[in-house]
Amino acid sequence: MPIPRTVFLISLLLLILRLPRFESANHDYSDALSKCILFFEGQRSGFLPNGQRISWRANSGLSDGWQRSVDLTGGYYDAGDNIKFGFPMAFTTTMLAWSVIEFGDSMPAGELRNTMVAIRWATDYLLKTVSQPGRIFVQVGDPIIDHNCWERPEDMDTARTVYAVEAPNPASDVAGETAAAFAASSMAFRSSDPGYSETLLRNAISVFQYADNYRGAYSDNADIRDGVCPFYCDFDGYQDELLWGAAWLRRASQDDSYLNYIENNGKTLGAEDNINEFGWDNKHAGLNVLVSKEFLEGSMYSLQSYKASADSFMCTLIPESSSSHIEYSPGGLIYKPGGSNLQHATSIAFLLLSYANYLARSGQSVNCGNISIGPSSLRQQAKRQIDYILGDNPMGMSYMVGYSNYFPQRIHHRGSSLPSIKDHPEFIACKEGSAYFNSSNPNPNILVGAVVGGPGDDDSYEDDRDDFRKSEPTTYINAPLVGALAYFVANPNPS
């Protein structure tokens, strides 16, 4: 007996409604931006201020630096552990400052203030790390010991080992990124706090001199013991950080000596290698985009090779381009093997939007061989990445904690997964926390705004605390996302 047409249509509609839906939604970018910035308060180390909004956190790391007779309190824990790594913290700072420089005009006034506070929490700490001439403190905490504990930062009783490098030992990677962080931040503070801005720029110059005078990676130092790298190692060489630091100093100071540096050292330091990466470890793509601004808007033809490399990078991101080779998940997420994949999605989205701005202001497009790509295409590509993170994906999940009604509940984060010291003031020792780590219960403390490492190359996500590659948030995932979200607050439907 044939099925009545009305029954068939109703059945078809019900089937459609059950299918995974990840078309573009009307996202509340303003809410996402607010949460994205709030996350940094959950990562704070040191004495927390009266205005601390993530209230389940408390003071921690108050004796940091005492071993070396220096005050190293403050700064950020970079992820779900209790270590302060100077290299990714400096990159995080650079990206927060670049977010303000590039997209601050799109931020609501309150969120711009919150972002400036987040930057200063980092720069105040980084200034402490370079307070002694000829010495840079690059890390606080022993990661091997720390990673063997599941302990709240407020309870830390593990070694707070201080790692430092002294002249003439090299640390061009950490020093170059720290110089970039100071220079970019000096631009961000220029109008609101000129005195602080000048302090940052002065320190940027001196730290960059250290980086250039003693060329080499920090991993070349004796702090590498028994073949173990006790910090974030620079696996891609230090050369990109030298150019990155010089490029930011050029932009912050307008000093021609830094222009000459990036002109004369580009070839020897690998600027033309077309390495299509951007993150805490590799600055090549970001360097090319940053320097291209001066070429595009200032007709600085000596920098044309940087523009050509930036164009090449953009073409690799466009699926329709004949030179496309970036891997995408079936749901459309940029995917690179390794952990914390969403760091690639957020940083690349930031570069897409920044480069689109530069092209739009100069009335140019990118020639990708078989097609020409304009600012609109780059912005749409960025929007797809950001919307995927916020929930337009096969799982229907927001990968930002606290945004929407469906987000990761079991993130790999000590403070979030252990009872708050406010609710459970009794000390929880190193191994006593393992019971909470192994629990299948949701984390008791919601780390609002945390963006986790993200799904696999098949768009799957298991919400497993033990799978840190997917479930651990980091500051360097969130930092470029601040700028991208600020753009979409003002331009929710870019053209």
User: What are 99's two structure tokens?
Assistant: 């977010």
What is the rounded distance in angstroms from the CA atom of residue 387 to the CA atom of residue 22? Answer: 9
Give CA 329 to chain center in angstroms: 21
Please tell me whether residue 328 adopts helix, strand or coil conformation.
strand
Cα first-last separation, the chain: 52
What is the rounded distance in angstroms from the CA atom of residue 234 to the CA atom of residue 104? Answer: 30
Residue 293 CB partners (closer than 8 Å, separation 6+): 251, 354, 358
Contact between 354 and 289 (Cβ < 8 Å): yes
What is the rounded distance in angstroms from the CA atom of residue 160 to the CA atom of residue 140? Answer: 6
User: What are 429's two structure tokens?
Assistant: 């020792």
Handedness of CA 218, 64, 205, 190 (dihedral sign): positive
**Taking the CB of residue 251, how many other CB atoms lie within 10 A of it?**
21
What is the rounded distance in angstroms from the CA atom of residue 479 to the CA atom of residue 474? Answer: 9
Nearest 5°: CA angle at 480, between 474 and 484? 130
User: What are 1's two structure tokens?
Assistant: 């007996």
User: Residue 71, class by beta-carbon neighbours within 10 Å (0-12 exposed, 13-18 middle, 19+ buried)?
Assistant: middle
User: What are 214's two structure tokens?
Assistant: 């003693």
Contact between 67 and 54 (Cβ < 8 Å): no
Contact between 262 and 243 (Cβ < 8 Å): yes
Catalytic residues: 412, 463, 472
Query: DSSP strand E in 366-420: where?
Result: 366-367, 372-373
Residue 368 CB partners (closer than 8 Å, separation 6+): 311, 314, 315, 318, 321, 322, 323
**CA trace torsion 194, 200, 206, 210 (10° rounding):** -160
